[in-house]
Amino acid sequence: MNEEYINNLVEKIQNGDKESFSLLYKELFNPIYKFCFFKLPNKETTEDITSEVILNIFSNIDSYSKQKGIKFISWVFRIAQNKIIDFFRVNKENLELKEEIICKKSNIDKDLNNDFLKNKLQNALKNLPHSQSQSIILKYFSGLNNTEISNILDKSETAVRILQSRGLKSLKKYINYEDFL
Amino acid sequence: LESLLKNLGKSIKPSKEFEIILKNKVNMIYESKFKKSKKENFFLGIFRMLKESLNNSILYFFGGAFGIFLIMPIFSVIITNPSSASSGSLIRNINGEITLIRNNQKISLSEEKELLKNDIIITGEKNDAEIVFFDGSILRISENTKIKLNNMEPNPLLFTTGSINIYLEFGNIWMTTFQTNTENKLIRLDTPHSSMFPNKARFSVSYKNDKEYILNTKNNLDIKFYTSSGSKYIIMKENEFINYSPFKFETDSLSSVKLNSYNEWIVLNLKKDEIYKKEYFNKIKTSLKDKYLLEENNNQVNSFFDSDPTEEEVEKLINDVNKALTISKNKKVNITITKKTPTPLPTILAKEKEVISNVKTKKAIKIKTYNTEKKDLKSLPENKKTTLSPISKTDEVKALSLKYQKEQKQKNIEKLSNKFIEKINVYSFESSRITQTTNILKSIKNDKESIELLKSMENKSPKDIRKYIRQKRIKIEKDLLNENPENILLKKE
């Protein structure tokens, strides 16, 4: 994602340009979906939260202002992060129960779409500090670069790089490579 | 690890249906936020359509050329003047007092009044009406019903296409659609618990007090139910009935459902549909004449409709017109309207839909739709019949599935042998024997034959189990003796 390009699109949208609306949607859809996918327990919840996040962004896009000092991309991912936190807060009890049921019911034929790997990875990521896991998800799954991640996490690029390398190092301890081959 | 994570990130893809729905919602936000003048929208629309059509135009061209060879052409027409954008939908057959709310204001209703986006229609006791949409679909509203027309947007560049989104807040409706749902023709009906996407379907939906009854009488109806544990996709086939509430989910065939008063409503609508079909053909005919065709070809259009075409033939005609409109830049194109010969070559235009996973049963289903009649399909040679094929998985996912299968198998074996050991404990073996048998079990747990034996012996008496273990132990000891006597001596020591 090119920051200038995104800012340009946002400005055009604020002036009512529909073409930019769909272009920005294309730019944001995949990174947000992937970010939610690795944070949430299943595909259905991911779809629900992704649509909530995207609709929230587009309905409030005219209220976004650069002058407040927040970059657009960090504004977007803060909305996503808040929605995910809300989800876990509301569904805390249900999720604990569901986890057990899912374990019992897990079936080979189910829509795998990496559910198995995802669970393994999610468990491994849980062992890392929040900022480390956040930087890894944003970099490798949402496909953002370090500048964008530094904006989202409110840290310098060097700090982000350190977070990632430390995160990867400790992730190696918790990952069983055979599962991913 | 980095490349592994990157590859994993790349392999995640959201479902197509989800993307389409979300895109539509985003478009709706745009419409509500920055509504532009029609003229501006029109030119933006042309630009977008031309851009989108570039990908499909070559495909359409070759498909069209192939079709001309297969089916006998009857006449050709020239397409001109695409229609201008308007809601193109009207309310009619109003029976009793019906409320129309537009921009938070009550508006008086008259027969054949044009409806607009965001209109709300409420019917009272023993009142009903019907709405005819721009694409020919019809919606009958029963008594005590409230609906909102969330979206009603004809595509200004294409013939009888666009998106329709209706929200049923409560009550009873009947809907008849004639075309397949695609990205250009998206018909969607929402209720508080579900979203429906009809594919040439004729169906009834009743929603009251959190209970939803859906009955489909023709073709397929794709439904997404919103449950507390996420979404659930269902493909409702012909003559299926669904009774849904947040606490209950039942599907049944039409014959086994006690329909009672509901029955009358269905029979009445099926009758009305038969009459409406002729009207629908007439509507297509007049729209073609008015909006797209030159005067000189009117007779040819008449003769096509006089030859009693089937719904599929009319749908094909609409598709052909739209394909020609999409290819053409100046909207002036020769197209060939075809009518099947008396002994037609059965053509299957199988269209793969998305893989829809059923969340409850964890099974994935792949559906294929055909535009041919069932009879035609039967008469086809075996090799031309398309069959349901399993879901295509990527190699990665396949490998993953195998791995998972293996892991599960190993877990089952361990579980079985643990269970077995427990059983032996219960029957109070001598302590030394227990350790011996445990060791033996550990050594045999990967042996396929032994596993089967263990399974079969699960319900047998302790005596039989002891006997089996003794035999096994003796056998192992013998084997060891044959192999290396020193080892045995060491073990004995």
Q: What is the DSSP string of B38-51?
A: HHHHHHHHHHHHHH
Tokens 């060939």 appear where? Answer: B336
Least confident of A20-24, A114-118, B143-147, B376-380: B376-380
The 8-class DSSP code of residue B363 comes to E
Q: What is the pLDDT of residue B73?
A: 41
CB contact under 8 A, A47 and B15: yes
Chain A residues touching residue B41 (CB < 8 angstroms): 18
* Nearest residue, CB atoms, B363 vs list A50, A109, A121: A109
Instruction: Provide the 8-state DSSP code for B351.
Output: E
Return the pLDDT at B168. Answer: 92
Q: Which of B1, B29, B229 is the closest to A172 by Cβ?
A: B1
Q: In the Cβ-directed half-sphere of A179, how many Cα atoms lie within 13 Å?
A: 17
pLDDT above 90 as % of chain B: 5
Look at B133 and B58; give whichever has higher pLDDT. B133
Give tens-digit pLDDT for A77-96.
888 888 888 888 777 655 54
Q: Give every CB contact of residue B491 below 8 A, 6+ residues apart in sequence.
A: B480
pLDDT at B32: 73
Asked if pLDDT for residue B174 goes beyond 90, the answer is yes
A47/B18 CB distance under 8 A: yes
Query: With contacts defined as CB-CB under 8 Å, which chain B residues touch A47?
Result: 14-15, 18, 231
The 10s digit of each residue's pLDDT in B466-478 is 777 777 777 766 6
At residue A19, the pLDDT reads 77
For A176, nearest residue in chain B (alpha carbons): B1
Q: How far is CA B30 from the centre of its chain?
A: 27
Among B138-142, B278-282, B341-345, the range with the most confident prediction by mean pLDDT is B138-142
Assign B430 a pLDDT band (cuts: 50, 70, 90). Answer: very low
| Angle CA B22–B226–B249, to nearest 5 | 150
Q: Does A102 touch chain B (CB under 8 A)?
A: no
Give the residue with greater pLDDT, B16 vs A138: A138
pLDDT of residue B345: 33
Q: Higher confidence at residue B199 or residue B329?
A: B199
Q: Which of B9, B26, B44 sits opposite A143 (nearest CB)?
A: B9
d(CA B435, CA B440): 9
Residue range B372-406, pLDDT digits in tens = 334 444 444 444 444 433 444 456 666 666 777 77
- B13 contacts in chain A (CB < 8 Å): 113
- Cβ pair A113:B19 closer than 8 A: no
Overall average pLDDT of the B357-375 stretch? 38
* Contact status of B409 with chain A (Cβ, < 8 Å): no
Confidence of residue B368 (pLDDT cuts 50, 70, 90): very low
pLDDT score at B227: 65
Phi, psi of B241 (to 5 degrees): -130, 135
Give the range among A11-15, A109-113, B174-178, B184-188 with minimum mean pLDDT. Answer: A109-113
Residue A58: its chain B contacts at CB < 8 A?
26, 29-30
- pLDDT tens for B209-238 read 777 888 888 888 888 877 655 667 778 877
Q: What is the average pLDDT across B395-419? A: 70
pLDDT at position B448 is 63
Q: What is the pLDDT of residue B211?
A: 78
- Tens digits of residue pLDDT in B109-132: 888 888 888 889 999 888 889 999
**Tokens 């747990």 sit at which residue?**
B445
State mean pLDDT over B426-454: 56
Distance CA B437, CA B445 (A): 12
Question: Which range, B165-179, B244-258, B397-411, has the best average confidence (pLDDT)?
Answer: B165-179
Please state, in angstroms and rounded to a whole number, the distance separating the CA atoms of residues B359 and B364.
Answer: 9
Q: How many residues does chain B have?
A: 493
- Band the pLDDT of A27: cuts 50, 70, 90: confident
User: How far is B402 from chain A, CA to nearest CA, in Å?
Assistant: 9
Residues of B in contact with A172 (CB under 8 A): 1
Taking the C-alpha atoms of residue B71 and residue B347, their distance in angstroms, rounded to an integer, is: 9
Q: What percent of chain B has pLDDT over 70?
A: 51
Asked whether the beta carbons of residue A58 and residue B29 sit closer than 8 angstroms, the reply is yes
DSSP summary character for residue B255: G
Q: Which of A120-124, B28-32, B349-353 has the lowest mean pLDDT?
A: B349-353
| pLDDT value for B298 | 62
Q: Which of B2-16, B238-252, B353-367, B386-400 has the highest mean pLDDT?
A: B2-16
Does the structure show a pLDDT above 60 at B436?
no
What pLDDT does B361 receive?
37
Q: Say if B8 is an interface residue toward chain A (CB within 8 Å).
A: yes
Structure tokens that stand for A103 in this block = 């374990």
Contacts 24+ apart (CB under 8 A), B326-330: B326/B49, B326/B53, B326/B56, B326/B57, B326/B60, B326/B157, B326/B158, B327/B53, B327/B57, B327/B60, B327/B61, B328/B79, B329/B50
pLDDT value at position B454? 63
- Residue A55, amino acid: L
Stretch among A69-78, A140-149, B180-189 having the lowest mean pLDDT: B180-189
Per-residue pLDDT for A66 more than 70?
Answer: no
Q: What is the pLDDT at residue A107? A: 41
Contact between B9 and A19 using a beta-carbon 8 Å cutoff: no
Minimum CA–CA partner of B402 in chain A:
A108
pLDDT at A121: 77
Which tokens belong to B273?
Answer: 């549909």
Mean pLDDT confidence for B13-41: 69
pTM given for the model: 0.42
Q: Do B230 and A45 touch (CB under 8 A)?
A: yes
Nearest chain A Cα distance for residue B242, angstroms: 22
CA distance A76 to A87: 17
Over residues B287-345, the pLDDT tens digits come to 776 655 544 556 667 777 777 788 877 887 777 777 666 665 444 555 555 555 443 33
Average pLDDT, chain B: 67
